[in-house]
Structures are given as structure tokens and as C-alpha cells.
Amino acid sequence: MDLTFAIGGDLPVHRLGFGAMRLTGNRDRLGHDEAIAIARRAVELGVTLIDTADSYDLGANEELLAAALYPYPPELVIATKGGQVNLGAAWIPLGRPEYLRQQAELSLRRLRRDHLDLYQLHRIDPLVPLADQIGALLLLREQGKIRHIGLSEVTVAQLTEARGIAPIAAVQNRYNAADRAADPVLDHCARHGIAFLPWLPIAPAVRRPPTVTVPGATPAQAALAWLLTRSPVVLPIPGTSSLRHLEENMGATGFLSPAGG
């Protein structure tokens, strides 16, 4: 099985990525040095795709990644997001074009990059025309500040509409063996060579009786192996605040079956 996928056709990554969200925001459980060690170990173990967002711990998550990994290895792709605010309780979409442009600039500064490899609209804001939201990202792309545009939590209809405005390289929807509501979106991505980053890839498998089992594999490894087998465009981004779990999760590639399902 090919474990490489080129996002947007020109950004090759190892398909088993890492979601950084859980590295910040809970200092009681995970200290700064430990979080740095987990980010570095992920890269040592072969991760070349890390997912973060401007809203994760109000930018501290992006800063943590820069503190851990800058200067970045050339093959490392950092996917970040903008367009959703979180002040503690609720997540609120905020897709006004000037806000998206400001947030991209702040992500560039925090990540210490001169361009963002993959910039994902965290949520479509229902109060702002989609053309204005995608238009802001297209402008950033034309200015060289974004290499590729991604979307998160979209339907096939929204993805199709967005693709009429700008090239969309990646989609990030909630997806795992126990929650396949995004199957039509994933199938659309597969048909069009768009990367599909399933979020919440393993939590259901480790918290409840797993939907998929693989002999010799832990529930997390079986969940990741199932995702990697599901389609060559699937790039899981499992998250953890534990070095032990990180190492276990990266071991999922040892349990891949040859055929897709």
C-alpha cells in the first residue's frame, strides 16, 4: 500500500499524520517540555503532516509547534486552520474575509513561516457568502501566503460550490469506522484526488467497543489501519498527549491489509 500522498499534487506527505490539538490547553495534564517532546518524537517517527489551528489554545498550539520544530525539516507539512473562534465554551464560525486574512497572517507569524502549506477554512460561516470566504483564501494564495486551500466539515454540495471558486486540495471532516456520515464526501475526494483528513480518527475505538478489530493490533492501531486502507486519499491525524500512545499509533502501519474496503 502506498503510504505517500501528494496534497494538491505537489506536497508529498506520509499518510499517517499527527493532530497537535491535544498538545496545549491542559497544562495540568501535559507540561510544555513534554508537549515539545511529543511533537519532536512524532517527526522522528516519520510524521510529515501535522494539523493545528489558530484557535487551538488561542494560538499557543501553533507557537508550541514552532518552539518544538523550527527550523522545520524540509519535508514537514504543517496544516493549520482559521475561521472559527473558541473562547472556552462554544465554537463559533467566523468567516468574514478580513478576519480570515488577519488570522492567516497571525498563523504565519506564530508558525514562523513565510507561507502556509495547507490553510483550511475551519468552518463555513453561514452568515457570510461562501464566495467571500473562499475568495479571501484565494487572495492569500495569489499573494503566496497559502500554498493550498482546505475545508473542514463540509457537504459534497459545499465542496462542489467551493471548487467552482478555487482549487480545494484537502477536506477535514469527522470520520472513523463507527461514524461514516462523511462517506459521500470521502468518495467525492477520492474521485477528484483531494486529500481527506479524518478528525476524531481513533477516540471512538478506544472509548467504546471497537467497530474494527485486527489480530495483534490495539484498538487505536486497528482504527488507523482501517482508515489507511479505506482510500489512498485518507490522511488520518490522530491526536494524543502521551508519548506511549504516539508510538503505538505510529505502529498502525504494521497492520495494513493489501486491499481497500
Catalytic residue annotation: 56
Place of cell 465554551: 89
30-89: contacts with ligand NAP (CB under 6 A): 51
93-112: contacts with ligand NAP (CB under 6 A): none
- Pick one of 188, 237, 250, 255: the residue that binds ligand NAP (CB under 6 A): 237
Asked whether 200 and 173 are in contact (CB, 8 A), the reply is no
Residue 243 binds ligand NAP (CB under 6 A): no
Q: Identify which of residues 59 and 238 has a Cβ nearer to ligand NAP in the complex.
A: 238
Residue 224 binds ligand NAP (CB under 6 A): no
Residue 238 binds ligand NAP (CB under 6 A): yes
Residue 245 binds ligand NAP (CB under 6 A): yes
Q: Identify which of residues 21 and 45 has a Cβ nearer to ligand NAP in the complex.
A: 21
Q: List Cα–Cα distances, 53 to 60, 110, 111, 257, in angstroms.
A: 9, 11, 11, 32
Q: Identify which of residues 143 and 210 has a Cβ nearer to ligand NAP in the complex.
A: 210
In the bound state, the residue with its beta carbon closest to ligand NAP is 19
Q: Nearest 5 degrees, angle CA 253-CA 258-CA 261?
A: 95
Q: Identify which of residues 133 and 152 has a Cβ nearer to ligand NAP in the complex.
A: 152
Alpha carbons 116 and 244: distance in angstroms, whole number? 30
Q: List Cα–Cα distances, 131 to 10, 117, 161, 163, 173, in angstroms.
A: 25, 22, 9, 10, 20
